[in-house]
Amino acid sequence: MKTYQKALEQIGKIRHSGKILSKTMKMLKAAALPGVSLLELDRLAYKLIKEAGAKPAFLGYRPYGAKMAYPATICASVNNVIVHGVPSKYFLEDGDILKIDLGVNWRGGISDSAVTVPIGRISTKEEELIKATEMALFEGIKAACAGNTLGDIGNAIEKTINKKGFSIVDGLTGHGVGNELHEDPVVYNTGKPKMGMVLEAGMILALEPMTSLGTSSIVQLADDSYATADGSISAHFEHTILIREGEAEILTE
Ligand code: MG
Ligand code: MG
């Protein structure tokens, strides 16, 4: 049987990478204000990661089938854009919903995390979507202990979002992470309890609910980013976690 468990030394590297990531993310969240451009945030992320002696994991990353290598340190996805937004000269405006996604590579240990940041004042509905999506991530993490299954994680995420009447977007998933940015297994944001692969202590996964206020359908834009098909607002949260007996360890918190 194939196992995804990682060696202790590698887990240590990924843990350190996650610490650099969470510190960087904290600074990015604080810097994301009306009038700041996505490129400025990208430059700040690059600088902080370099200063910490690590490398941006997204920069130059080229998944199988992609037209080009990824040109930036962060993904910056605004409003209807869900993920993979390429940082541009766009200046953030009051009322925007910004998703920052970031990967860090420290000596071959890779971590991946994302947050949704409200810029200035946003609507109550949008606030609820953001809150529910973050809650869904933590419900997924609660379900992610050794002996449970990938279906338990997906089910916990799905239930949390459905209860609030929001949508989980189609076709985008979490994944294994650590040695590469994207590894097996695929971690769906939907699922049935007790179904799918059994989780083992030592596995490292990126859980990442991606949601919308409207449709679950997505479209791919010219810069390869994914957006909601009906233009509705989306949210995204992600953590890299280590599966253990009992509660998982969040490596990017
Ligand atoms: Mg990510
Ligand atoms: Mg990811």
Q: What is the mean pLDDT of residues 1-11?
A: 88
Which pLDDT band holds residue 68 (cuts at 50, 70, 90)?
Answer: confident
Q: 1 in a domain, yes or no?
A: no
Q: 201 in a domain, yes or no?
A: yes
Q: Is pLDDT of 195 > 90?
A: yes
Determine the distance separating the centroid of ligand 1 and the alpha carbon of 103, expressed in angstroms. 6
Q: Is pLDDT of 1 > 70?
A: no
Q: 2 in a domain, yes or no?
A: no
Question: CB-based contacts of 203: which residues, under 8 Å, 6+ apart?
Answer: 4, 5, 6, 176, 242, 243
Instruction: Write down the pLDDT at residue 109.
Output: 98
Q: In the block, which residue shows the tokens 């253990």?
A: 244
- What percentage of residues in the chain have a pLDDT greater than 90? 95
Quick check: 63 and 75 in contact, CB under 8 A? no
Q: What is the mean pLDDT of residues 172-179?
A: 98
Q: Is 248 exposed, middle or buried (0-12, 13-18, 19+ CB in 10 A)?
A: buried
Determine the distance separating the centroid of ligand 1 and the alpha carbon of 206, expressed in angstroms. 8
Q: 27 in a domain, yes or no?
A: yes
Q: What is the mean pLDDT of residues 163-185?
A: 97
Residue positions in the annotated binding site?
A: 84, 101, 112, 175, 182, 208, 238
Determine the distance separating the centroid of ligand 2 and the alpha carbon of 187, expressed in angstroms. 10
Q: 98 in a domain, yes or no?
A: yes
Determine the distance separating the centroid of ligand 1 and the alpha carbon of 93, expressed in angstroms. 23
Instruction: Write down the pLDDT at residue 2.
Output: 66
Q: What is the mean pLDDT of residues 31-39?
A: 98
Give pLDDT tens digits for 233-248: 999 999 999 999 999 9
Q: What is the mean pLDDT of residues 22-50?
A: 98
Instruction: Write down the pLDDT at residue 3.
Output: 80
SS3 call for 205: strand
Instruction: Write down the pLDDT at residue 169.
Output: 98
Pairing outcome for strands 210-212 and 174-176: unpaired
Residue positions in the annotated binding site for a divalent metal cation?
A: 101, 112, 175, 208, 238
Q: What is the mean pLDDT of residues 29-39?
A: 98
Quick check: 140 and 157 in contact, CB under 8 A? yes
Instruction: Write down the pLDDT at residue 67.
Output: 76
Determine the distance separating the centroid of ligand 1 and the alpha carbon of 113, expressed in angstroms. 5
Q: 174 in a domain, yes or no?
A: yes
Q: 186 in a domain, yes or no?
A: yes
| CA angle, residues 206, 207, 208, in degrees to nearest 5 | 115
* Total structural domains within the chain: 1
Q: What is the mean pLDDT of residues 149-175?
A: 98
Which CATH number do you get for residue 60?
3.90.230.10
Determine the distance separating the centroid of ligand 2 and the alpha carbon of 113, expressed in angstroms. 7
Q: What is the mean pLDDT of residues 146-153?
A: 98
Range of the domain at 100: 8-250
Instruction: Write down the pLDDT at residue 63.
Output: 76
